[in-house]
Structure 1
Amino acid sequence: MGRPTIVLGKEFYYPILATFGIPGNLLTIVILSRGNCGLSKCITVYMVAMATADLLVMVINALIYHIFSNRFPLSFLTLTPVCKFILYMTFITFDLSVWFTVSFTFDRFVALCCPRFNTRYCTQQTATIVITAFSVFSFLKDIMVLFAYETQNIINKVHRGCRASVAFFSSPLGTVSVWFHSACVVWIPFILMTVFNLLTVHRILMANRARRRLQGHRSETHSDPEMESRRKSSILLFSISGIFILLWLTAALSFVTTRLTNTAYYRGDRTDPAYIATETGAFLKFLSCLQNPCIYAATQRKFRDELKNVLKSPWTLIQRLCRKLG
């Protein structure tokens, strides 16, 4: 009997995802770090942080955990201590990806809705402090992961692999840890992003109506730079946070319905609906780490121009070398 479709899908999905996700996020970091996209330093810090977190997800979660560890079952990556550390890092990288997106959403909410506060909050220094604080919080919060998994197999007296510890997840501490993780990575970020976006939409609509009233009928025949800038900022914000929520929704629902203690997911039948739902949610969740480069390319003209310049630069360098050698 052949392997289940979802298992075959994983073998193709993660290599394809890493192939596009790693260079895509690397290019995004390079382009944004050059500072030629017409973005403020504050926004650039958040966007570089999000791209860095997404890159780490692609490298650690997709490449190392889902590809290398599975393809090379007897490598040092499958040693239980190494496996636990990799799992620990997979939790951290997703935490960073989520909370950096929340931080960006809140920063844009302050910038668009709190004119008296934005000059003090929307700064490069504040952005750096926020990113650092969430990074430290994620590393501390996920330490419990190191105690939540146990050896999966003992081969030639060597402990290899990791599996969820039933004793841990059945304990009160394990139950609290599961729901605390779910709240911190899914539900609290979802609620915050939804609230911030709704308040931002309301503020933008009210500001646009007031501006039209002040300008009279001129808005019908003349472009308004301020409204155009506000429109572009809102498109970028809603694209990033809106698509992020949609892609994480399946993972969030499957997490609640199956829980981390679901034995079918960790040890049993790969055709079980709970396992399929969890893996499908994981597919979409990973896809969220590839969304931002696509969004930037679709919504930001200067980003597209810089992307072209970066892609052309190796060929330009080769041409210059050929001319000098010639």
Structure 2
Amino acid sequence: MAVADLLVVITGVVFSGIGEIYFPVSFLTITPVCRLILTLSLTATATSVWFTVAFTFDRFVAICCQKLKTKYCTEKTAAAVIGVVSALSCLLNIPWYFVFDPEYIMDNVPRGCVLKPTFFTSPEWAVFDLFSLVIMPCLPFILILLFNVLTARHIVVASGVRRGLRGRSSGENHKDPEMENRRKSIILLFSISGSFILLWSTFIFYFISLRVTNAKYDTASDIESAGFMLQLLSSCTNTCIYAVTQTKFREELKNGVKCPLNLIVTLVKS
């Protein structure tokens, strides 16, 4: 998830956003390069979104499905899921490379990217656009909500039963490590998936309204700009959430920062 989110920031923010604004006449604005950057950005975004779905489903299985947990929650399964999600995200976003035409010609060099006129009139492109909207992010939005509700319901019920049993056996309420772990799990789960839902809502509602009203994409729309901004922001939050909620993640992050510093100190002393 962290790698996918970083790729979104690199392709969608650095290359596409900052590069287009501050370097309008550069290698990045040549049409084939622009197409590639946009396609990579969409691919990275789709991968990040479906990794969030996979993470939510993984937590659902680990918490709610104890019999399936031993078979599904393994390193081998995780590697297979990561590989399949990454491969499918690449394949499903390849057609976006052929959607754009040059925006203008400068010194016989095509520059910029704009949607082809046939994108709005061709039935094939209309089906592809609708399919893309369903696959990302409408379906992930629904799946994350569903898995969150089921997981939260299971945790609440199981916690109530456990609290009642401990109360009967001990006669008083002691601090329960298992309850603390469940509380941390549900905080992490709802922090990642909840931030995804909130930050993607504007983007989803905007494009659904386009389909309902049969309107065309308006690149000057403030709502669209806000939706894209929040969408990109959603790819920057997971690392922060991990750093805040996970002790092991904070320790590994500190070790990663200390390692090059210790190496520099050792070299200076020698």
Q: Which residue in the other structure is 1:264 paired with?
A: 218
Q: CA deviation at 1:233?
A: 1.4
Q: CA RMSD in A?
A: 1.8
More off after superposition, 58-67 vs 151-160:
151-160
Q: Distance in 2 between matches of 1:101 and 1:213?
A: 34
Q: Distance in 1 between matches of 2:50 and 2:266?
A: 44
State the identity as a percent: 46
* 8 Å CA contact 1:79, 1:159 repeated in 2: yes
Task: Select the residue among 57, 65, 87 that pairs with 1:114.
Answer: 65
Q: Which residue in the other structure is 2:105 paired with?
A: 154
- Residue 106 to residue 263, structure 1, CA distance change in 2 (3 Å): closer
Q: Distance in 2 between matches of 1:293 and 1:80?
A: 33
Q: Distance in 1 between matches of 2:85 and 2:237?
A: 21
- Residue 159 to residue 219, structure 1, CA distance change in 2 (3 Å): farther
Misfit runs of 4+, over 4 Å: none
Aligned pairs for 1:126-275 (under 5 A) are 126-217=77-168, 218=170, 220-258=172-210, 262=216, 264-265=218-219, 270=220, 275=221
SS in 2 for 1:154: strand
1:285 equivalenced with 2:231 (yes/no): yes
- Residue 148 to residue 211, structure 1, CA distance change in 2 (3 Å): same
Structure 1: where are the runs of 5+ without partners?
1-49
1:318 equivalenced with 2:264 (yes/no): yes
SS in 2 for 1:159: strand
Counterpart AA for 1:249? S
Q: CA deviation at 1:311?
A: 2.4
SS in 1 for 2:113: strand
1:76 equivalenced with 2:27 (yes/no): yes
Q: Distance in 2 between matches of 1:94 and 1:194?
A: 19
- Residue 309 to residue 173, structure 1, CA distance change in 2 (3 Å): same
Counterpart AA for 1:302? K
Q: Which residue in the other structure is 1:15 paired with?
A: none
* 8 Å CA contact 2:167, 2:173 repeated in 1: no
* 8 Å CA contact 2:210, 2:217 repeated in 1: no
Q: TM-score, normalised by structure 2?
A: 0.92
Q: Distance in 1 between matches of 2:248 and 2:74?
A: 22
* 8 Å CA contact 1:148, 1:169 repeated in 2: no
* 8 Å CA contact 1:148, 1:165 repeated in 2: yes
Counterpart AA for 2:17? H
Deviations 1:187-241 (A, max 9, x none): 1001000000000011111111121222125485322222222221111111110
* 8 Å CA contact 2:200, 2:230 repeated in 1: yes
* 8 Å CA contact 1:164, 1:261 repeated in 2: no
Structure 2: where are the runs of 5+ without partners?
none
